Amino acid sequence: MSAQDQIKDTVTSNDVVLFMKGTKTMPQCGFSSRVAGVLNFMGIEYQDVNVLADEEVRQGIKEYSDWPTIPQLYVKGEFVGGCDIVTEMTLSGELDQLFDAKGVAYDKAKAEEIRAANA
């Protein structure tokens, strides 16, 4: 299976996927840590993909999304964005709206806590 096929299969067979450096329990960069931290804090079930474990996936995800940086968040097969976009969407409430629209369960009170702490 090619890296592109593997990426497509992962993105389409999981509701929420985070391509990141490291894992959700042990991120290996600050940007990946921030996005994983938001998802973990909000209680979102997601598949983490450690791009450091496979160079083909690391390069392949950049081509798949036409986005040059990692981490990359996907929700129901749709590319959402990287660290800055996820952070902005979290603080504006747009991430909640996306999860609501896509039927992804999360802790709404925790999402509010994040916004209150950053107000």
Domain boundaries, the chain: 3-117
Q: Which letter does DSSP use for residue 72 in this model?
A: E
**41-96: pLDDT as tens digits:** 999 999 999 999 999 999 999 999 999 999 999 999 999 999 999 999 999 999 99
Percent of the chain with pLDDT over 70: 100
Angle, vertex CA 48, rays to CA 42 and CA 53, nearest 5 = 150
Cα gap 36→19, rounded to integer Å: 10
The CATH superfamily holding the domain 3-117 is: Glutaredoxin (3.40.30.10)
- pLDDT for 1: 83
Q: CA separation (Å) from 86 to 61, 70, 105? A: 17, 12, 17
Dihedral angle sign, alpha carbons of residues 58, 63, 67, 72: negative
Annotated binding site: 29
End-to-end, the C-alpha distance of the chain in Å comes to 46
When pLDDT is averaged across residues 88-114 and rounded to a whole number, the result is 97
- pLDDT for 119: 86
Annotated binding site for [2Fe-2S] cluster: 29
Cα gap 85→44, rounded to integer Å: 17
Question: Please, what is the average pLDDT of the chain?
Answer: 97
